[in-house]
């Protein structure tokens, strides 16, 4: 089984300030785990390209893309000119520096390139080890550490450019993927299923925005066995009925019991189980085609371990 692994050094240069949980060391933690467990040579590695702006326009408004380009390219020019650039706040949680434009383009570009690799049969599935994450970015707004919605951009590429009829988006981040829902709600070519702690930022998801959204709020302190029961009872029948031709995963690992940004109790074995259940659906209906994109996960050791078991499952190792 061939698993493509897409990343780029530009994603490491994006910084949101000292002490921010969405930090470059997140990618280091993943790489360290892969090296320590001999998986760094087991994956088909690719440099993430910069996304074409036309791809962004399939998920975001032209006005928003232009505003982000003007702001982030301005910071990039300041940094290139040798001017010290303090991270610029877009909201209380989301900051940009002189490398954010390149990182955001690489993150979305990884998701699109991964989609093409899988659809062209060059990989059975793919994982994008990228930052900034994407699932809080709405059609018109950056928020929650996110600038462009990587998974939504890739899903629309699969539908609008590559001609698929049905794709599923599976989001197991501890925070509701409000941006993905904002972009994809009422698109009957997409089924989005998600779990998320409730109440928790961004305090949404209780009322789905469209009939193609299956939101599963989870109370704080819920542990893995209960989450597995919810997934089995709610996600799996919906995915089976929908029969997706490709599956996209917003792979957030911040529901881990060691992660301080939330209060759920998942462990590595739960992430492995979730991955295998998603793979079961993909094998039956989508020729095994999966593109997974990193979202949250802020306890570095737990993140490395959790991504590791996710990748092991995807690669069949």
Catalytic residue positions, numbered: 136
Distances (CA, A) of 304 to 31, 74, 239, 310: 8, 34, 28, 10
Pairing of strands 167-171, 190-197: parallel
CA–CA dist 47, 54 (Å, integer): 20
Distances (CA, A) of 110 to 98, 122, 149: 20, 15, 12
Instruction: Supply angle C-alpha 75, 48, 253, rounded to 5.
Output: 90
Return left, alpha or beta for 111; rule: phi > 0 is left, psi -120 to 50 is alpha, else beta: alpha
Going by the DSSP 8-state scheme, the letter that residue 265 receives in this structure is B
Q: Report yes or no: 302 and 174 within 8 Å, Cβ to Cβ.
A: no
Helix axes 300-315, 25-36, angle to 10 degrees: 50
């Amino acid at each position: 089984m061939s698993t493509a692994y897409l990343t780029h050094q530009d994603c490491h240069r994006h910084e949101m300030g000292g002490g921010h949980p969405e930090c470059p060391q997140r990618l280091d933690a993943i790489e360290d785990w892969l090296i320590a467990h001999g998986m760094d040579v087991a994956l088909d590695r690719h440099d993430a390209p910069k996304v074409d702006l036309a791809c962004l326009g399939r998920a975001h408004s032209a006005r928003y893309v232009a505003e982000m380009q003007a702001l982030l390219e301005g910071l990039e020019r300041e940094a290139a000119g040798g001017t010290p650039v303090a991270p610029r706040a877009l909201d209380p949680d989301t900051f940009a520096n002189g490398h954010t434009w390149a990182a955001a383009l690489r993150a979305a570009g990884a998701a699109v390139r991964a989609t093409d690799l899988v659809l062209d049969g060059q990989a059975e599935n793919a994982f994008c080890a990228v930052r900034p994450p994407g699932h809080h970015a709405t059609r018109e707004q950056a928020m929650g550490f996110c600038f462009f919605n990587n998974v939504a951009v890739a899903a629309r590429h699969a539908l609008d450019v590559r001609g698929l009829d049905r794709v599923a988006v599976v989001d197991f981040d501890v925070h509701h993927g409000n941006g993905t829902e904002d972009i994809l709600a009422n698109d009957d070519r997409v089924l989005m299923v998600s779990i998320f702690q409730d109440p928790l930022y961004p305090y949404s998801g209780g009322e789905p925005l469209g009939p193609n959204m299956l939101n599963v709020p989870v109370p704080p302190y819920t542990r893995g066995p209960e989450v597995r029961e919810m997934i089995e009872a709610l996600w799996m029948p919906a995915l089976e009925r929908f029969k997706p031709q490709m599956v996209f995963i917003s792979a957030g690992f911040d529901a881990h019991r060691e992660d301080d940004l939330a209060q759920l109790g998942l462990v590595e074995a739960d992430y492995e189980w979730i991955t295998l259940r998603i793979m079961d659906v993909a094998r039956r209906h989508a020729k095994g085609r999966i593109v997974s994109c990193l979202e949250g996960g802020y306890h570095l050791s737990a993140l490395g371990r959790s991504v590791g078991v996710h990748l092991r499952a995807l690669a069949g190792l």
